[in-house]
């Protein structure tokens, strides 16, 4: 590879600034005079979404892309608890990237599943940062092993879709470090991604693109990251501050956003040219890496990738219930299959990760001998006629398999779910079938937990998540026992949404207040003593396992696991550390290590883990181990830990903050209190006031239209334009329409300018008009 510093030294200041913005929607700029090639990038958290420029491009998965393998979404692959499998998937995606001349894949997503209603949860790994980080690291290693660049996203604090472009994620330092940064830290240190994508929201009042502490102090200096930082599409705020902070590449290109301002800032001494040099070097280094990789073309075996996609779907399937051993089904059993999803399954999420799958296997294609009844339509609606048909099929069969889940309109990038319920039609269908035939199995296809009020009556429940293009084959193999299920839930399933700690305030306001602090997922449910449908780490098998002989010798832990059933199977051994509850507040237990093992029937294996200080640490102005007693706990899920050993750990004496006594954080009873949260935060929270005359490039059409006629007109115009591409009508029940509208009208004016490739004074002029300066706005637009 040519000397990048020499290339940068030969470049003009204008060109160095220019190369730090994209050429178009998916490419970086090429400069032939310096020998700098263009780099093509595309989405890819569970498969490649390459859009050809001439066929239409977007960041929301609307326009068609080149066919590629649709692997299971992360909601399914993460339930495998298998970093090696994630590495295989990453490697396969990289092979397809090389085949399609893509040098950089935008994935994986490592944001924490803070609340089950986040519309993009299907794209993320877990509610637990250790599990999320280890799986993301595996995926990254796979991509990078082929010479393709990965892009770990969305850094950081991006756990809701509501007002995601301008929201402010407000959290205390301990919560940020222990929960929302740890997954990224693990992925960076163990996966070594070439790039990081900064998120849309602000983090504690500072845009992620401008965040010197986040991108410089933590990411580069503390974690040792040496790669490139790219913005999420339209996430750039202040280009001058972003250069200072180490945000290298502004995407998409075409708008020349703040390039002239950066040039002036260098000439005036406000911005150091060295900061621009550093950013330019990282962009060029990545482009040269891609050029080298893409010269070495090899045959890409898409059929082998389909088989891998099937294996991943099987390994990520979670058996949640299996009463009376009703599963696996017998080949000669008279089976009825009910539900539209069985012939048109929901196998991936909606939005920027949407794949144009090479091929798709539907469940009914692999259940040819079953009686079939539609039961409901593609939107989850049913009718008395459909229910009667389902009831008839259920009466004729020994066993009924109901396929249910969330249709696309219920969950998508761009908006959060309104509740945790299945469609009413699906619940009615399940109830009708259960009342007709008690031997009923429910198979769920959805990207996040749902309320299952019928679970006690169903004989079995299988969670497929969003299983990718081979999901039809996979679910048939699971049902008939050709594959022994081994998936474990990567997130807790509360019985009802109200049991979630953030249910009263999640996505209810523009800013995201992380009032619950470190008590996310099982960390809250366990401490609050909440009943769950199924706990974190839970998943059954067609065989059984026995744990014994836990030994802790210094930092070395060993445990024996025996397969006590009558067939081979996989078990994920989970190690948690339990902490004292009579000092500084902590979760009762936290996952620290895990390992997935394969055991023949009757076989015993010894699983070993090595502990470190970090396993016992909390954040108090740095990582600190509190001296005292801890329990090392091993078992099959967060609420089934049969083996425990008490140990003593040396360390520091930590102070207990005064505000802790009697607060929510001490025992997780009741709801978090804003006043106590502010004490934990160390400052008062004051939301920005929205009023005419003070709108900025950070303001949105949605909030300004309440005060401005020009923005109301603009909103109506946007609705009409979007409707043309979404069935011809304004329909907020259409997930595609809703997603595009939220991405436009909830995005800041600067994002419209960047993502729309709009140069000059159009957007600034409209902003002047919205602020009540009509003639100023017209002049600004004309001059621009």
Beta strands in 437-568 (DSSP E): 440-445, 460-463, 493-494, 512-513, 532-534, 545-553, 556-563
- Report the sign of the C-alpha dihedral through residues 251, 257, 258, 260, in that order: positive
* Residues 355, 306 contacting (CB under 8 angstroms): no
Q: How far apart are CA 293 and CA 280, in angstroms?
A: 20
The catalytically annotated residue of 43, 168, 172, 232 is: 232
* Residues 349, 122 contacting (CB under 8 angstroms): yes
Token pair 């800032």 in the structure block, residue = 265
Kindly report whether the peptide bond that precedes residue 156 is cis, defined as omega within 30 degrees of 0: yes
* Residues 291, 37 contacting (CB under 8 angstroms): yes
- Indicate the SS3 state at residue 155: strand
What's the order of all strands across the beta sheet hosting 149-155? 41-43, 104-106, 149-155, 195-198, 228-231
* Residues 619, 680 contacting (CB under 8 angstroms): no
Q: How far apart are CA 699 and CA 714, in angstroms?
A: 14
CA angle 598, 602, 606 (to 5 degrees): 55
Residues pairing with 636 in the sheet: none
Q: Which residues contact 506 (CB under 8 A, 6 or more apart)?
A: 114, 115, 117, 160, 416, 500, 512
Residue 290 buriedness (CB in 10 A; 0-12 / 13-18 / 19+): buried
Output the CA–CA distances (angstroms, integers) from residue 665 to 175, 346, 501, 583, in the order listed. Answer: 12, 39, 12, 12
Q: How far apart are CA 742 and CA 157, in angstroms?
A: 19
Any idea what DSSP says for residue 233? Answer: T
H or E stretch including 737?
helix 735-745
Pick from 328, 337, 323: nearest CA to 459: 323
Q: How far apart are CA 382 and CA 402, in angstroms?
A: 14
Give 395's Cβ-side CA count (13 Å radius).
7
Could you tell me how far CA 44 lies from the centroid of its own chain?
12
Any idea what DSSP says for residue 160? Answer: -
What's the order of all strands across the beta sheet hosting 460-463? 318-322, 460-463, 440-445, 399-405, 335-338, 371-373
Residues pairing with 391 in the sheet: none
Q: If DSSP states are collapsed to H, E and C, what string results for 702-720?
A: HHHCCCCHHHHHHHHHHHH
The first and second tokens of residue 43, run together, are 């989405």
Instruction: Find the farthest-apart pair of alpha carbons in the chain and give their distance in angstroms, rounded.
Output: 83
- Report the sign of the C-alpha dihedral through residues 427, 431, 432, 436, in that order: positive
**526 included as an active-site residue:** no
Q: Which residues are catalytic?
A: 232
């Amino acid at each position: 590879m040519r000397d990048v510093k020499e290339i940068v030294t030969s470049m003009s200041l204008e060109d160095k600034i220019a190369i730090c913005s994209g050429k178009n929607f998916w490419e970086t700029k090429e400069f032939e005079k310096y020998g700098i090639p263009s780099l093509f990038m595309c989405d890819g958290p569970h498969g490649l979404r390459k859009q050809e420029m001439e066929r239409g491009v977007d960041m929301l998965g609307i326009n068609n892309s080149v066919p590629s393998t649709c692997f299971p979404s992360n909601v399914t692959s993460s339930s495998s608890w298998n970093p090696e499998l994630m590495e295989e998937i990453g490697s396969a995606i990289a092979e397809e990237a090389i085949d399609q001349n893509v040098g950089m894949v935008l994935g994986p997503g490592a944001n924490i599943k803070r609340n089950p209603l986040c519309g993009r949860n299907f794209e993320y790994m877990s509610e637990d940062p250790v599990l999320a980080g280890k799986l993301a690291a595996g995926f990254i290693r796979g991509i990078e092993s082929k010479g393709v660049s990965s892009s770990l996203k969305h850094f950081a604090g991006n756990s809701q879709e509501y007002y995601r472009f301008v929201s402010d994620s407000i959290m205390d330092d301990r919560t940020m470090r222990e929960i929302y940064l740890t997954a990224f830290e693990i992925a960076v240190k163990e996966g070594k991604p070439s790039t990081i994508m900064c998120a849309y929201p602000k983090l504690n009042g500072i845009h992620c693109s401008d965040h010197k502490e986040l991108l410089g102090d933590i990411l580069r200096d503390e974690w040792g990251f040496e790669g490139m930082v790219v913005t999420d599409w339209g996430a750039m705020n202040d280009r001058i501050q972003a250069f200072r902070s180490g945000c290298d590449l502004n995407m998409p290109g075409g708008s020349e956003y703040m390039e002239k301002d950066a040039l002036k800032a260098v000439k005036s001494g406000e911005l150091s040219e060295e900061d621009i040099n550093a950013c330019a070097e990282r962009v060029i280094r990545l482009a040269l890496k891609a050029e080298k990789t893409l010269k070495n073309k090899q045959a890409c075996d898409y059929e082998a990738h389909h088989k891998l996609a099937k294996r991943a779907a099987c390994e990520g399937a979670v058996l949640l219930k299996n009463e009376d051993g009703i599963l696996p089904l017998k080949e000669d059993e008279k089976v009825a299959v009910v539900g539209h999803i069985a012939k048109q399954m929901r196998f991936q999420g909606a939005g920027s990760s949407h794949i144009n799958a090479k091929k798709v296997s539907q469940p009914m294609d692999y259940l040819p001998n079953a009686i079939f009844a539609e039961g409901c339509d593609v939107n989850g609606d049913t009718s008395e006629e459909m229910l009667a048909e389902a009831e008839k099929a259920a009466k004729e069969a020994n066993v009924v398999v109901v396929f249910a889940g969330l249709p696309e309109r219920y969950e998508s990038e761009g908006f959060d779910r309104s509740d945790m319920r299945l469609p009413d039609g699906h619940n009615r269908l399940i109830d009708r079938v259960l009342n007709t035939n008690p031997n009923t199995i429910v198979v769920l296809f959805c990207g996040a937990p749902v309320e299952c009020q019928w679970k006690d009556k169903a004989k079995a429940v299988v969670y497929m998540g969003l299983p990718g293009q081979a999901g039809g084959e996979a679910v048939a193999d699971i049902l008939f026992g050709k594959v022994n299920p081994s998936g474990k839930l990567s997130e807790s399933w509360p019985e009802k949404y109200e049991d979630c700690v953030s249910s009263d305030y999640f996505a209810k306001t523009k800013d995201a207040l992380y009032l619950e602090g470190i008590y996310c997922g099982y960390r809250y449910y366990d401490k609050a003593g909440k009943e769950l449908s199924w706990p974190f780490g839970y998943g059954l098998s067609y065989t059984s396992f026995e744990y014994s002989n836990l030994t802790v010798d210094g930092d070395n832990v060993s445990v024996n696991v025996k397969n006590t059933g009558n067939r081979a199977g996989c078990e994920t051994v989970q190690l948690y550390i339990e902490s004292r509850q009579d000092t500084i507040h902590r979760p009762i237990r936290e996952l620290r290590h895990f390992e997935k093992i394969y055991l023949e029937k009757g076989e015993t294996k010894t699983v070993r883990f090595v502990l470190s200080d970090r396993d016992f640490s909390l954040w108090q102005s740095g990582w600190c181990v509190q001296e005292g007693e801890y329990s090392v706990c091993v078992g099959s899920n967060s609420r089934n830990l049969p083996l425990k050993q008490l140990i003593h750990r040396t360390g520091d004496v930590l102070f207990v903050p005064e505000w802790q006594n009697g607060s929510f954080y001490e025992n997780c009873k009741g709801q978090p209190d804003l006043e106590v949260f502010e004490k934990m935060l160390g400052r008062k929270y004051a939301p920005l006031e929205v009023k005419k005359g003070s709108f900025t490039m950070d303001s949105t059409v949605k909030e300004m239209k309440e005060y401005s006629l020009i923005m109301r007109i603009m909103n109506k115009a946007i609705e009409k334009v979007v409707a043309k591409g979404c069935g011809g009508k304004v329909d907020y029940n259409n997930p595609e329409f809703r997603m595009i509208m939220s991405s436009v009208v909830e995005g800041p004016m600067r994002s419209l300018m960047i993502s729309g490739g709009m140069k000059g004074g159009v957007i600034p002029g409209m902003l002047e008009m919205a602020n009540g300066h009509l003639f100023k706005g017209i002049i600004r637009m004309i001059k621009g």
